Amino acid sequence: MTPSRDPATLVCASIYMTLTLYAVDLWVFALFRTRMVFCFFYIVAALVSLFISVVSVGMYLDPYIWVRLLGRSGWTVSYYFIIVVQPVALLIGVTGSTILVRWLTKRPNQSLQPTAGRSDV
């Protein structure tokens, strides 16, 4: 049975892919500006998410594309690959978030530091 071709699914998938591309651009910009390691994790996580969304849209538009391209056993392998890659992408993103939060909480709070004033000497 093929899925119904409702426009809401395609609109949501398009928005998701557009936002994922924005996330990739945002973290590449942050990487060039700051040279901080956690940006790499976010870039990889966004690229994996983009790959998953493109494959999902392809499977939505033609549910039997992987069976025709890869055969039944190849389809099974690709299905489980997509299932396993999703938590891996989340783990990569959470790793980047952990590095970011640790960096933010360990840096000194500049607003609590006394400002440099004139010396009375």
Q: Return mean pLDDT, the chain.
A: 81
- What are the structural domain ranges in the chain? 7-104
Q: Which helix or strand (DSSP H or E) is residue 75 part of?
A: helix 65-106
| Average pLDDT, integer, range 11-37 | 88
Closest CA to 43 of 30, 28, 62, 64: 28
Cα torsion through 51, 57, 62, 63, rounded to 10: 80
Predicted local confidence at residue 116, as pLDDT: 55
pLDDT tens digits along 40-98 = 989 999 999 899 888 878 877 787 887 888 888 888 888 888 888 888 888 898 888 88
pLDDT at res. 44 = 92
H or E element that contains 55: helix 38-61
Q: Are 16 and 73 spatial neighbours (Cβ–Cβ below 8 Å)?
A: no
